[in-house]
């Protein structure tokens, strides 16, 4: 089945690390993605991970994947005010169909 769940809100102090969590249900997922959406904008692809990997690092972003528990997380190091946005986790089920979570609103406070 297709069901991706995320916590809805996260508040973090500027300079701290943010960790956004996501769980998915379909064990046949091939790739898992993180997207960022700012007000009035489309979705910006941040990073993705292949399902046979357990970690991927890309500058300030670290993705951890626990395939056994179907748990995905995105860590943003040294969070800045420009990181305030909605973050979506998505799983790719077949071909190019993506199933998205509801999004986590990240608020960075000074």
Partner 1 sequence: KAGVTQTPRYLIKTRGQQVTLSCSPISGHRSVSWYQQTPGQGLQFLFEYFSETQRNKGNFPGRFSGRQFSNSRSEMNVSTLELGDSALYLCASSLDTEAFFGQGTRLTVV
Q: Which residues of this protein are in contact with partner 1, per CB under 8 A?
A: 31, 33, 35, 41-45, 48, 50, 88, 90, 94-103
Q: What's the min distance (Å) between Cβ of 14 and partner 1?
A: 27
CA 91, chain centre distance (Å): 10
Nearer to partner 1, 43 or 61 (CB): 43
Query: For partner 1, which is the closer residue by CB, 9 or 50?
Result: 50
- Give the separation between CA 108 and CA 90, rounded to whole angstroms: 23
Nearer to partner 1, 17 or 107 (CB): 107
Q: Minimum distance from CB of 35 to partner 1 (Å)? A: 7
Smallest CA-to-CA distance from 52 within 71, 31, 75, 69 is with 31
Partnered with residue 24 across adjacent β-strands are 4
Nearer to partner 1, 3 or 14 (CB): 3
**Contact assessment for residue 31 and residue 50, using Cβ atoms and an 8 Å cutoff:** yes
Q: Extract the tokens encoding 91.
A: 């799983």
Q: How far is CA 82 from the centre of its chain?
A: 16
User: From the CB of 91, what's the least distance to partner 1, in Å?
Assistant: 12
Smallest separation, CB 94 to partner 1 (Å):
7
């Amino acid at each position: 089945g297709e069901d991706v769940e995320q916590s809805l809100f996260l508040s973090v102090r500027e300079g701290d690390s943010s960790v956004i969590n996501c769980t998915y249900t379909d064990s046949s997922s091939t790739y898992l993605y993180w997207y960022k959406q700012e007000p009035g904008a489309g979705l910006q692809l941040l990073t993705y991970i292949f399902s046979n990997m357990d970690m991927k690092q890309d500058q300030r972003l670290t993705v951890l994947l626990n395939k056994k528990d179907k748990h995905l997380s995105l860590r943003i190091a040294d969070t800045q005010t420009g990181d305030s946005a909605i973050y979506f986790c998505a799983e790719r089920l077949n071909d190019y169909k993506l199933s998205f979570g509801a999004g986590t609103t990240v608020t960075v406070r000074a």
